[in-house]
Structure 1
């Protein structure tokens, strides 16, 4: 029996992969990864040039991404069928070989692989290799501490209702807003209503060659890429800076 090894690849820059994930990717004979139909996929981009020449690839193409509302019954049905079919296929493959599944960020942090994990747990041997979450790479790109002292950090989804985004933005110190993409206008309005827009940063494609970092208030309200995060840094307790006496 083979295994399924899910590798967290980090935020996008291949140099931010863990040593353990790098070794698994380099030694993989069979790799699977999610992607939008007709696209190479972010996970596959991260490992470009690292895979063995004779590796067998299994692109898992989503049947739907933004074509339907994410909370519609049809969207749920299509995705559920998709995960079920791929879980069955991977289970059959692992009867003979190890499969390395590539996952952006950290698999246990909103990773799509968790939908397969739920369907495969107890049926095949699964190993999950931790990765640097995408938001960590983003706040390092800004170059400011996301939280200090007793700051409370809240992770929100841009898909939440606008009033919920506003309420939570008012009641937390540091904010990470994921799934911004098509929800950018709503996120911007919610932060403005909560009085947090001036503090907000927009990071697109963090840590990659296409990275863009800017104050959200200076950006227009056009849609941004799927791989985009909005950050509001906490202003918690800071230790007084005391100058050292000169020698």
Structure 2
């Protein structure tokens, strides 16, 4: 880490004992760490590594300028986030140029719907960059149900609840196994799509997978609101010996 390398380190779904040995080693030995967080919050990634950091570690908290305050299809959304990522990259490049390595804490896996990807593509060709994979939240979610997510030739689809309802319905109808992320305010729309596809009774809601307050319930028994760390899934039932 003394060569100015920026390392995107996957933390896994949210508990320290599901991090990789490599992630644990890099985090404990880091002289500089960076992580995303919402303004006014500690940040989930930072909370995961509590107690692992050197007392002399230098921290760079990268605070999102916007999360859900404006729709993601509003032109301002991309403009604000693009400027934010450029600012973060400039700070990381400056640290790297001084000869310091930086561990960027990434919830789940850095290359799976993570904010680090937006830094990675901007950092390439400018500074050394490395990525340490992590267990995804969806893997923790289907493990929490106690049943395999896919069998034999099952096709697994990962869909975002932010999709238009017609597209969401089409994805649900065409797949064997299903994972739906980014639910939040789109829960009612997701429920309508599942019902229209005839698969509402098969769906499970997993909240805070692999965390202390984990909750696993059939979607039909869930309330009308879900926390940020929520995943809906349907198990495949494909070919078996």
What TM-score results when the alignment is normalised by the length of structure 1? 0.94
Q: What is the aligned partner in structure 1 of residue 187 from structure 2?
A: 184
Partners of 2:24 and 2:204 in 1: how far apart?
A: 31
Partners of 1:182 and 1:203 in 2: how far apart?
A: 16
Q: What is the aligned partner in structure 2 of residue 61 from structure 1?
A: 63
| 2:212 is the counterpart of 1:209 | yes
| 2:148 is the counterpart of 1:141 | no
| 2:131 is the counterpart of 1:152 | no
Q: What is the aligned partner in structure 2 of residue 114 from structure 1?
A: 117
1:176 positional shift: 0.5
From 7, 10, 18, the equivalent of 1:8 is: 10
- Secondary structure of 1:144's counterpart equals coil
- Secondary structure of 2:179's counterpart equals strand
* Structure whose CA Rg is larger: 1
- Paired residues, number: 238
Q: What is the aligned partner in structure 2 of residue 82 from structure 1?
A: 84
Superposed CA RMSD: 0.9
1:91 positional shift: 0.4
Gaps of 5+ in 1: 240-247
Q: What is the aligned partner in structure 2 of residue 243 from structure 1?
A: none
In the TM superposition, structure 1's runs of 4+ consecutive aligned residues that sit over 4 Å from their partners are none
1:151 positional shift: 0.4
Gaps of 5+ in 2: none
- Secondary structure of 1:147's counterpart equals coil
* CA-to-aligned-CA distance 1:199-223 (integer Å, 9 cap, x gap): 101111110112111110111222x
- Secondary structure of 1:2's counterpart equals coil
Partners of 1:187 and 1:15 in 2: how far apart?
A: 32
Q: What is the aligned partner in structure 1 of residue 105 from structure 2?
A: 102
| 2:170 is the counterpart of 1:171 | no
1:52 positional shift: 1.1
